[in-house]
Homo-oligomer: A and B are copies of this chain.
Amino acid sequence: MELQKMAVALVACLCLLVFGATTSQAGHPAHPDPKLINPLRIMPEASSGDSVSVNNCLSWRLTVETNNKRNWNGVPEICGNYVAHYMTGKQYGYDCDAVVDIAIEYVKSLPIPRDGRSIWIFDIDDTALSNLPFFSRPDVFFGVKTDNAELEAEFYEFILTAEVPVLEATLRLYQAVVEAGIKAIFLTGSSERSADARDKNLKAVGYHTWEKLILKPDSVNTTVQVFKSQVRNRLVVQGYRIEGNIGDQWADIVGSNVGRRTFKLPNPMYYGYY
Protein backbone atom coordinates (compact mmCIF):
# COMPACT_ATOMS: atom_id res chain seq x y z
CA MET A 1 0.00 0.00 0.00
CA GLU A 2 2.72 2.48 1.03
CA LEU A 3 4.76 1.14 -1.85
CA GLN A 4 1.87 1.81 -4.21
CA LYS A 5 1.62 5.44 -3.03
CA MET A 6 5.33 5.90 -3.49
CA ALA A 7 5.15 4.43 -6.97
CA VAL A 8 2.41 6.87 -7.95
CA ALA A 9 4.34 9.80 -6.48
CA LEU A 10 7.46 8.60 -8.28
CA VAL A 11 5.68 8.47 -11.61
CA ALA A 12 4.37 11.99 -11.03
CA CYS A 13 7.86 13.15 -10.11
CA LEU A 14 9.46 11.55 -13.14
CA CYS A 15 6.81 13.04 -15.38
CA LEU A 16 7.63 16.48 -14.02
CA LEU A 17 11.38 15.97 -14.16
CA VAL A 18 11.10 15.06 -17.80
CA PHE A 19 8.92 18.00 -18.71
CA GLY A 20 9.99 20.28 -15.88
CA ALA A 21 12.27 22.39 -18.02
CA THR A 22 9.38 23.22 -20.30
CA THR A 23 6.31 23.23 -18.13
CA SER A 24 7.71 24.95 -15.07
CA GLN A 25 9.04 27.70 -17.30
CA ALA A 26 5.86 28.14 -19.26
CA GLY A 27 3.45 29.52 -16.71
CA HIS A 28 3.43 32.38 -14.31
CA PRO A 29 5.97 32.19 -11.47
CA ALA A 30 4.98 30.07 -8.53
CA HIS A 31 4.44 31.80 -5.21
CA PRO A 32 5.71 29.44 -2.55
CA ASP A 33 5.35 29.91 1.18
CA PRO A 34 7.71 32.81 1.95
CA LYS A 35 9.04 30.83 4.90
CA LEU A 36 10.60 28.47 2.38
CA ILE A 37 12.92 31.19 1.19
CA ASN A 38 15.64 31.18 3.74
CA PRO A 39 16.62 33.66 5.17
CA LEU A 40 13.65 35.76 4.08
CA ARG A 41 10.44 36.21 5.95
CA ILE A 42 8.91 39.23 4.26
CA MET A 43 7.29 39.22 0.84
CA PRO A 44 8.16 41.97 -1.61
CA GLU A 45 5.78 44.88 -1.84
CA ALA A 46 7.54 47.51 -3.90
CA SER A 47 6.69 47.98 -7.54
CA SER A 48 9.32 47.68 -10.22
CA GLY A 49 8.25 50.70 -12.20
CA ASP A 50 8.48 48.48 -15.25
CA SER A 51 6.63 49.85 -18.25
CA VAL A 52 6.56 46.53 -20.13
CA SER A 53 4.32 43.97 -18.48
CA VAL A 54 6.17 40.92 -17.25
CA ASN A 55 4.34 37.73 -18.09
CA ASN A 56 7.09 35.24 -17.64
CA CYS A 57 10.06 35.55 -15.31
CA LEU A 58 12.26 33.16 -17.28
CA SER A 59 11.77 35.38 -20.32
CA TRP A 60 12.38 38.45 -18.21
CA ARG A 61 15.69 37.04 -16.95
CA LEU A 62 16.76 36.04 -20.47
CA THR A 63 16.06 39.54 -21.84
CA VAL A 64 18.09 41.00 -18.97
CA GLU A 65 21.06 38.67 -19.40
CA THR A 66 21.15 39.08 -23.20
CA ASN A 67 21.16 42.91 -23.01
CA ASN A 68 17.78 43.17 -24.71
CA LYS A 69 16.28 44.81 -21.64
CA ARG A 70 18.24 47.88 -20.58
CA ASN A 71 18.01 50.67 -18.01
CA TRP A 72 15.68 48.68 -15.80
CA ASN A 73 15.20 49.74 -12.24
CA GLY A 74 14.40 46.98 -9.80
CA VAL A 75 13.37 43.36 -10.27
CA PRO A 76 9.64 43.24 -11.17
CA GLU A 77 7.72 42.37 -8.02
CA ILE A 78 6.12 39.37 -9.72
CA CYS A 79 9.60 37.91 -10.34
CA GLY A 80 10.91 38.43 -6.80
CA ASN A 81 10.40 34.83 -5.71
CA TYR A 82 11.77 33.50 -8.98
CA VAL A 83 14.97 35.54 -8.64
CA ALA A 84 15.19 34.59 -4.94
CA HIS A 85 15.07 30.89 -5.84
CA TYR A 86 17.54 31.33 -8.67
CA MET A 87 20.09 33.22 -6.56
CA THR A 88 19.83 30.99 -3.49
CA GLY A 89 19.48 27.70 -5.36
CA LYS A 90 22.14 25.85 -7.28
CA GLN A 91 21.52 27.23 -10.76
CA TYR A 92 23.21 30.59 -10.17
CA GLY A 93 26.41 28.79 -9.17
CA TYR A 94 26.14 26.44 -12.13
CA ASP A 95 25.71 29.40 -14.48
CA CYS A 96 28.73 31.22 -13.02
CA ASP A 97 30.79 28.04 -13.32
CA ALA A 98 29.71 27.57 -16.94
CA VAL A 99 30.91 31.07 -17.87
CA VAL A 100 34.18 30.61 -15.99
CA ASP A 101 34.80 27.18 -17.56
CA ILE A 102 34.65 28.83 -20.98
CA ALA A 103 36.89 31.68 -19.81
CA ILE A 104 39.49 29.28 -18.39
CA GLU A 105 39.54 27.25 -21.59
CA TYR A 106 40.15 30.53 -23.43
CA VAL A 107 42.95 31.55 -21.01
CA LYS A 108 44.68 28.21 -21.53
CA SER A 109 44.47 28.64 -25.32
CA LEU A 110 46.19 32.04 -25.27
CA PRO A 111 49.78 32.54 -26.31
CA ILE A 112 51.00 34.92 -23.58
CA PRO A 113 54.20 36.80 -24.44
CA ARG A 114 56.61 37.09 -21.51
CA ASP A 115 56.70 40.88 -21.68
CA GLY A 116 54.45 41.42 -18.64
CA ARG A 117 51.93 43.43 -20.62
CA SER A 118 49.06 40.95 -20.64
CA ILE A 119 46.25 41.93 -18.28
CA TRP A 120 42.81 40.65 -17.36
CA ILE A 121 40.14 43.03 -16.09
CA PHE A 122 37.94 41.87 -13.21
CA ASP A 123 34.93 43.79 -12.02
CA ILE A 124 34.48 43.53 -8.23
CA ASP A 125 30.80 43.66 -7.19
CA ASP A 126 29.06 40.39 -7.99
CA THR A 127 32.08 39.36 -10.03
CA ALA A 128 35.16 39.02 -7.77
CA LEU A 129 32.98 39.27 -4.64
CA SER A 130 29.34 38.34 -4.08
CA ASN A 131 26.92 40.89 -2.63
CA LEU A 132 24.33 38.18 -2.07
CA PRO A 133 24.33 38.66 1.75
CA PHE A 134 23.16 42.23 1.22
CA PHE A 135 20.71 41.45 -1.56
CA SER A 136 19.09 38.63 0.40
CA ARG A 137 18.07 41.08 3.15
CA PRO A 138 14.25 41.10 3.43
CA ASP A 139 14.17 44.83 2.72
CA VAL A 140 16.15 44.37 -0.50
CA PHE A 141 14.62 41.05 -1.60
CA PHE A 142 17.08 40.23 -4.37
CA GLY A 143 16.66 43.54 -6.10
CA VAL A 144 12.90 43.98 -5.94
CA LYS A 145 13.42 46.91 -3.58
CA THR A 146 16.48 49.00 -4.33
CA ASP A 147 15.31 52.47 -5.31
CA ASN A 148 16.05 53.95 -1.94
CA ALA A 149 18.76 56.38 -0.76
CA GLU A 150 18.84 54.78 2.67
CA LEU A 151 19.53 51.35 1.20
CA GLU A 152 22.30 52.84 -0.91
CA ALA A 153 23.99 54.15 2.25
CA GLU A 154 23.60 50.78 3.91
CA PHE A 155 25.07 49.03 0.88
CA TYR A 156 28.10 51.28 1.17
CA GLU A 157 28.43 50.30 4.85
CA PHE A 158 28.22 46.66 3.80
CA ILE A 159 31.13 47.21 1.40
CA LEU A 160 33.16 48.95 4.12
CA THR A 161 32.97 45.91 6.41
CA ALA A 162 35.47 44.29 3.99
CA GLU A 163 33.69 41.03 4.73
CA VAL A 164 31.96 40.57 1.40
CA PRO A 165 32.30 36.87 0.46
CA VAL A 166 34.15 35.61 -2.59
CA LEU A 167 32.36 34.60 -5.78
CA GLU A 168 34.00 31.17 -6.05
CA ALA A 169 33.89 30.81 -9.83
CA THR A 170 35.69 34.11 -10.39
CA LEU A 171 38.44 33.17 -7.91
CA ARG A 172 38.95 30.02 -9.96
CA LEU A 173 39.33 32.14 -13.11
CA TYR A 174 41.69 34.51 -11.27
CA GLN A 175 43.93 31.59 -10.32
CA ALA A 176 44.04 30.37 -13.95
CA VAL A 177 44.75 33.92 -15.16
CA VAL A 178 47.64 34.46 -12.73
CA GLU A 179 49.02 30.99 -13.48
CA ALA A 180 49.01 31.82 -17.20
CA GLY A 181 51.22 34.87 -16.56
CA ILE A 182 48.42 37.42 -17.01
CA LYS A 183 48.25 40.27 -14.51
CA ALA A 184 44.96 40.98 -12.74
CA ILE A 185 43.42 44.43 -12.79
CA PHE A 186 40.46 45.04 -10.50
CA LEU A 187 38.29 47.79 -11.94
CA THR A 188 35.22 48.94 -10.06
CA GLY A 189 32.68 51.73 -10.26
CA SER A 190 32.57 51.92 -6.47
CA SER A 191 34.02 54.99 -4.77
CA GLU A 192 37.76 55.35 -4.17
CA ARG A 193 36.86 56.06 -0.55
CA SER A 194 36.29 52.33 -0.22
CA ALA A 195 39.81 51.53 -1.51
CA ASP A 196 41.19 50.23 1.81
CA ALA A 197 38.16 48.07 2.47
CA ARG A 198 38.21 46.60 -1.04
CA ASP A 199 41.95 45.95 -0.86
CA LYS A 200 41.61 44.16 2.47
CA ASN A 201 38.48 42.28 1.33
CA LEU A 202 39.97 41.01 -1.94
CA LYS A 203 43.13 39.77 -0.20
CA ALA A 204 41.16 38.12 2.60
CA VAL A 205 39.18 35.92 0.22
CA GLY A 206 42.09 34.78 -1.94
CA TYR A 207 42.93 37.45 -4.52
CA HIS A 208 46.47 37.83 -3.23
CA THR A 209 48.16 39.82 -5.94
CA TRP A 210 47.25 42.29 -8.66
CA GLU A 211 48.73 44.86 -10.99
CA LYS A 212 46.21 47.59 -10.21
CA LEU A 213 43.10 48.15 -8.12
CA ILE A 214 41.21 50.98 -9.80
CA LEU A 215 38.21 52.63 -8.13
CA LYS A 216 36.07 55.49 -9.36
CA PRO A 217 37.22 58.88 -8.06
CA ASP A 218 34.41 60.95 -6.56
CA SER A 219 35.32 63.73 -9.01
CA VAL A 220 34.31 61.54 -11.98
CA ASN A 221 30.70 62.26 -12.95
CA THR A 222 30.36 59.95 -15.94
CA THR A 223 28.46 56.68 -16.01
CA VAL A 224 30.24 53.50 -15.00
CA GLN A 225 30.43 52.42 -18.64
CA VAL A 226 32.17 55.63 -19.71
CA PHE A 227 34.46 55.58 -16.67
CA LYS A 228 35.52 51.99 -17.34
CA SER A 229 36.03 52.66 -21.05
CA GLN A 230 38.28 55.63 -20.23
CA VAL A 231 40.32 53.56 -17.79
CA ARG A 232 40.73 50.78 -20.36
CA ASN A 233 41.75 53.29 -23.04
CA ARG A 234 44.44 54.60 -20.66
CA LEU A 235 45.67 51.07 -19.92
CA VAL A 236 46.00 50.34 -23.63
CA VAL A 237 47.89 53.62 -24.17
CA GLN A 238 50.21 52.58 -21.32
CA GLY A 239 51.07 49.47 -23.33
CA TYR A 240 48.91 46.85 -21.68
CA ARG A 241 47.12 44.17 -23.71
CA ILE A 242 43.64 43.41 -22.35
CA GLU A 243 43.46 39.65 -22.92
CA GLY A 244 40.12 39.31 -21.19
CA ASN A 245 37.48 41.20 -19.27
CA ILE A 246 34.82 39.78 -16.96
CA GLY A 247 31.87 41.43 -15.25
CA ASP A 248 28.28 40.83 -14.24
CA GLN A 249 27.02 43.97 -15.99
CA TRP A 250 26.99 44.81 -19.69
CA ALA A 251 28.38 48.21 -18.67
CA ASP A 252 31.59 46.35 -17.74
CA ILE A 253 32.11 44.81 -21.17
CA VAL A 254 30.76 47.23 -23.78
CA GLY A 255 32.28 50.54 -24.87
CA SER A 256 35.83 51.00 -26.09
CA ASN A 257 38.84 48.70 -25.73
CA VAL A 258 36.66 46.04 -24.13
CA GLY A 259 39.42 43.47 -24.45
CA ARG A 260 40.30 40.56 -26.71
CA ARG A 261 37.34 38.69 -25.29
CA THR A 262 34.60 39.53 -22.80
CA PHE A 263 32.67 37.38 -20.34
CA LYS A 264 29.28 38.15 -18.80
CA LEU A 265 28.44 36.60 -15.44
CA PRO A 266 24.74 36.32 -14.56
CA ASN A 267 23.08 38.93 -12.38
CA PRO A 268 19.30 39.28 -12.45
CA MET A 269 19.24 41.48 -9.30
CA TYR A 270 20.17 44.90 -10.59
CA TYR A 271 21.17 46.89 -13.66
CA GLY A 272 24.44 48.82 -13.75
CA TYR A 273 23.61 51.98 -15.60
CA TYR A 274 25.61 52.68 -18.71
Instruction: Spell out A's residues near B (CB within 8 Å).
Output: 4-6, 8-13, 16-27, 29-30, 32, 36, 51-53, 55-60, 62-63, 65-69, 82, 85-86, 89-91, 94-95, 97-99, 101-103, 105, 262-264, 266
Tell me whether A94 and B55 are in contact (CB under 8 A).
yes
Tell me whether A21 and B30 are in contact (CB under 8 A).
yes
Q: A16-B17, A56-B98, A98-B62 are in contact. Are A22 and B86 (CB under 8 A)?
A: yes
Tell me whether A19 and B85 are in contact (CB under 8 A).
yes
Contacting residues, chain B, for A16 (C-beta < 8 A): 12-13, 16-17, 20, 24
Copies of this polypeptide in the complex: 2
* B5, B27, B63: the one within 8 Å of A8 (CB): B5
Contacting residues, chain B, for A102 (C-beta < 8 A): 52, 63, 68-69
* B19, B62, B85: the one within 8 Å of A95 (CB): B62
Q: Bound state CA distance, A53 and B98, in angstroms?
A: 9
Most buried by B among A6, A24, A51: A24
Q: Bound state CA distance, A58 and B266, in angstroms?
A: 12
Contacting residues, chain B, for A11 (C-beta < 8 A): 9
Q: For the complex of A and B, list the 4 residue pairs with the smallest distance between their C-beta atoms, beginning with the closest.
A: A20-B24, A22-B89, A59-B98, A9-B12
Contacting residues, chain B, for A90 (C-beta < 8 A): 22, 25-26
Contacting residues, chain B, for A12 (C-beta < 8 A): 9-10, 12-13, 16
Say how far A26's CB is from chain B's closest CB, in angstroms.
Answer: 4
Tell me whether A89 and B30 are in contact (CB under 8 A).
no
Q: A22-B89, A26-B90 are in contact. Are A52 and B105 (CB under 8 A)?
A: yes
Tell me whether B59 and A30 are in contact (CB under 8 A).
no
Which residue of B has the minimal Cβ distance to A104?
A: B52
Say how far A68's CB is from chain B's closest CB, in angstroms.
Answer: 5
